[in-house]
């Protein structure tokens, strides 16, 4: 049950990796990185899951069946579009995401064989900006296999596809209650104001009070609304951005690691190394050597 490619808004230039030639059955995995823009997509026989991968949240507008959703997509947020449902999106920042496509007949087959359900009556329900740790974990495992590009991973990938199909049927079809995505958080213009401030002051000692003061709200309300809008705490976001800046400097400059630590807002070489290892699993020195 191989999946043929389908025309969509994405272009070859925006496609980073695809499992099209991996010989995987029952799903197609594609990794994209696209500049700000808009586009539409329609897969007649495939359900689609999009998982946000970028470390910086973006503002995204989506339209499905005449219904409009607009909000901030952060790393780990995902959307689900059933087969035969046209989908339009407009995004304001660079979008980096993973796209998972599963044939509708595969979902029906799993419903019949694994769950003893009437697959023909099954209806996958659209979802916008939800959090699902299990889908995210499966998506990242699939992406890791895609980067390895090893044909021996086929059995493993098929197992993941089955687990994913069962989870979708249980959680996001007309036979189960649907958990809606979270709402609220900082308004878009306020969030962008904060993100721009963080980006411009990464080298400085940014305090929670500084960020809350930008919006003239209490630190408690700022932290709560920021996490609602992005899915992570202000501290986690700041640390992520500092590590990302360090990665760029390690790859693109000959500065010493001590200098990079200061430029990224870390107290010392050792401080950067500790945080870098915790988030990436490697040291700044090893990362630089591997990236060169």
Indicate whether 263 pLDDT > 70. yes
pLDDT score for 80: 95
pLDDT score for 212: 85
Helix, strand, coil fractions of the chain, as percent rounded to 5: 45, 20, 35
> 0.85 exceeded by the pTM?
no
Please determine, looking at this structure, whether the domain spanning 15-171 carries the CATH number 2.40.50.140: no
pLDDT confidence tier of residue 135, bands split at 50, 70 and 90: very high
Which tens digit of pLDDT belongs to each residue from 226-242?
Answer: 888 888 888 888 888 99
Tell me if 15-171 shares its fold with 188-291. Answer: no
Which element (helix H / strand E) includes 236?
Answer: helix 234-252
Q: 130: burial class by Cβ within 10 Å (0-12, 13-18, 19+)?
A: middle
- Let me know the angle formed at the C-alpha of 50 by 140 and 10, rounded to the nearest 5 degrees: 115
Average pLDDT over residues 105-117: 83
pLDDT score for 160: 86
pLDDT score for 150: 57
Instruction: Assign domain 188-291 to its CATH superfamily.
Output: Homeodomain-like (1.10.10.60)
Indicate whether 1 pLDDT > 60. no
**Of 87-101, 156-170, 218-232, 243-257, where does mean pLDDT reach its minimum?**
218-232
**Strand boundaries in 150-241, DSSP class E:** none
Domain ranges of the chain: 15-171, 188-291
At 150 the three-state DSSP class reads: coil
Indicate whether 269 pLDDT > 70. yes
pLDDT confidence tier of residue 163, bands split at 50, 70 and 90: confident
């Amino acid at each position: 049950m191989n999946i043929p490619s389908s025309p969509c808004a994405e272009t070859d230039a925006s496609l980073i990796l695809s499992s099209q030639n991996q010989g995987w059955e029952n799903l197609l995995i594609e990794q994209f990185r696209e500049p700000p823009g808009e586009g539409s997509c329609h897969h007649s026989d495939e359900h689609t899951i999009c998982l946000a991968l970028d470390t910086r949240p973006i503002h995204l507008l989506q339209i499905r069946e005449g219904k409009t959703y607009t909000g901030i997509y952060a790393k780990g947020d995902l959307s689900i579009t059933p087969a035969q449902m046209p989908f339009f999106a407009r995004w304001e920042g660079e979008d980096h995401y993973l796209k998972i496509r599963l044939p509708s007949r595969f979902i029906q087959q799993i419903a019949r064989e694994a769950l003893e359900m009437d697959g023909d009556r099954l209806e996958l329900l659209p979802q916008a900006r939800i959090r699902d740790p299990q889908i995210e974990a499966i998506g990242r495992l699939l992406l890791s296999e895609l980067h390895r590009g090893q044909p021996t991973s086929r059995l493993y990938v098929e197992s993941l596809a089955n687990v994913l199909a069962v989870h979708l049927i249980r959680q996001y079809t007309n036979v189960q209650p649907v958990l809606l995505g979270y709402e609220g958080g900082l308004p878009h213009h306020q969030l962008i104001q904060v993100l721009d401030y963080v980006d411009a002051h990464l080298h400085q000692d940014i305090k929670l009070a500084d960020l809350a003061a930008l919006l003239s709200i209490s630190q408690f309300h700022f932290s709560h609304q920021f996490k609602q809008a992005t899915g992570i705490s202000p501290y986690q976001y700041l640390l992520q951005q500092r590590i990302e800046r360090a990665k760029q400097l390690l790859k693109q400059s000959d500065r010493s690691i001590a200098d990079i630590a200061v430029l990224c807002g870390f107290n010392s070489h050792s401080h950067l190394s500790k945080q870098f290892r915790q988030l990436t699993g490697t040291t700044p020195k090893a990362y630089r050597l591997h990236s060169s």
